[in-house]
């Protein structure tokens, strides 16, 4: 059962843009020590769109070696090319990941039957669970309720990361939640509302800077302390909004570097923040004691 606060982990880079594996190991150990319930690598926050397949493979292999089954590891194996998604998914499945996160086919923007085949073809060829990733704001396309209903019946499709930000849509798929099909909030600003609909937790950007607090927010809700969970949601809301004042993962890397974590920069076309947005982020961080 995947649940709790799963960090959508940044990929740290050296100054020359190469992957900083020493820093990646530090981040993984820091998250495990601070209560993060699971690790997602190669998600949107992990910048896999500007990394080569060989680099992707090396990040997954290294993460599996360091984590060594202490918490679940999810690998983002998505692509807008179904065959590429199949190839990557099979490779990471063989590496022993606990689940795969597969995204809707961005740019191609297939019809719903194409969407269904896009995910089904992957799930048919792997042995580990597959999590659907619905984030139309990034991909330009989304899964219909009917498509999710059909895909949820596949024995290896175990859940959905719902990142549309549309509570009405989440309500409409919430009836699908059961022991073998879970929902995760893909938006940090609505963790508590999503859990009230039955979500098992969050796949989180906020957890990069606040792993223990994000874990606690989810854990309190699961223990029945809704007020305590909501208080944390509200406390970190301004920071959450600041972490998305420019495209993810630019602000969260800026925040981690300001905290002294040394995760490095980004690969083009991502570019450092505008100064006004940087100051907004720093002010939000000060409010919650990160600076």
Each residue's pLDDT tens digit, 188-197: 999 999 999 9
Q: CA 247, 253, 254 angle in degrees (round to 5)?
A: 90
Domain boundaries, the chain: 4-225
Instruction: Please tell me which residue in 92, 133, 169, 266 is annotated as part of the active site.
Output: 133
Question: What is residue 1's predicted lDDT score, i.e. its pLDDT?
Answer: 72
Task: Report which of 8, 93, 80 is spatially closest to residue 43, judged by C-alpha positions.
Answer: 8
Q: Is the pLDDT of residue 105 over 90?
A: yes
User: Annotated catalytic, 133?
Assistant: yes
Q: Is the pLDDT of residue 280 over 80?
A: yes
Per-residue pLDDT tens for 174-213? 999 999 999 999 999 999 999 999 999 999 999 999 999 9
Range list of H helices, the chain: 21-33, 53-67, 82-95, 112-123, 136-139, 145-151, 167-173, 191-196, 211-222, 226-235, 237-242, 250-258, 275-287
Task: Report which of 263, 266, 262 is spatially closest to residue 51, judged by C-alpha positions.
Answer: 266
- Residue 30: band (very low, low, confident or very high) from pLDDT cuts 50, 70, 90: very high
CATH topology for 4-225 is TIM Barrel (3.20.20)
Per-residue pLDDT tens for 67-94? 999 999 999 999 999 999 999 999 999 9
d(CA 248, CA 110) in angstroms, rounded, equals 24
CB of 135 within 8 A of CB of 164?
yes
Instruction: Please tell me which residue in 23, 88, 161, 253 is annotated as part of the active site.
Output: 161
Q: Which segment of 51-55, 99-103, 110-114, 159-163 scores lowest on mean pLDDT?
A: 110-114
Tally the C-alpha atoms within 13 A of residue 202's C-alpha that lie toward its C-beta: 32
CB of 208 within 8 A of CB of 8?
yes
- DSSP-assigned beta bridge partners for residue 101: 76, 131
Number of CB atoms found within 10 A of residue 184's CB: 30
pTM for the complete prediction? 0.95
Question: What is residue 229's predicted lDDT score, i.e. its pLDDT?
Answer: 98
User: What letter does residue 40 receive in the DSSP assignment?
Assistant: E
SS3 for 11? coil
User: Annotated catalytic, 92?
Assistant: no
CB of 273 within 8 A of CB of 246?
yes
Mean pLDDT of 210-232: 98
């Amino acid at each position: 059962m995947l649940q709790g606060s799963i960090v959508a982990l940044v990929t740290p880079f050296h100054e020359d843009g190469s992957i900083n594996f020493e820093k990646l190991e530090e981040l993984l150990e820091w998250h495990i020590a601070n209560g993060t319930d699971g690790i997602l690598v190669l998600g949107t926050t992990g910048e896999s769109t500007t990394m080569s397949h060989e680099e992707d493979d090396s990040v997954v292999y290294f993460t599996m070696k360091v984590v060594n089954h202490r918490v679940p590891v999810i690998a983002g194996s998505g692509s807008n090319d179904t065959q590429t998604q199949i190839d990557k998914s099979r490779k990471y499945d063989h590496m022993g990941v606990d689940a795969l996160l597969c995204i809707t086919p961005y740019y191609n923007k297939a019809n719903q039957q194409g969407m269904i085949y896009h995910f089904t073809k992957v799930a048919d060829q792997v042995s580990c669970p597959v999590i659907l990733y619905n984030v139309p704001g990034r991909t330009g396309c989304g899964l219909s309720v009917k498509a999710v209903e059909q895909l949820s019946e596949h024995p290896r499709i175990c859940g959905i990361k719902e990142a549309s930000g549309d509570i009405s849509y989440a309500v409409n798929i919430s009836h699908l939640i059961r022991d073998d099909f879970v929902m995760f909030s893909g938006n940090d600003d609505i963790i508590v509302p999503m859990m009230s609909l039955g979500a098992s937790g969050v796949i989180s950007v906020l957890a990069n800077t606040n792993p223990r607090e994000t874990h606690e927010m989810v854990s309190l809700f699961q223990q029945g302390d809704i007020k305590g969970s909501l208080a944390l949601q509200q406390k970190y809301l301004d920071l959450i909004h600041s972490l998305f004042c420019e495209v993810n993962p630019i602000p969260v890397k800026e925040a981690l570097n300001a905290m002294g974590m040394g995760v490095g920069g980004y690969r083009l076309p991502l570019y450092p923040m505008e100064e006004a947005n940087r100051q907004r982020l720093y002010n939000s961080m000060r409010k919650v004691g990160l600076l």
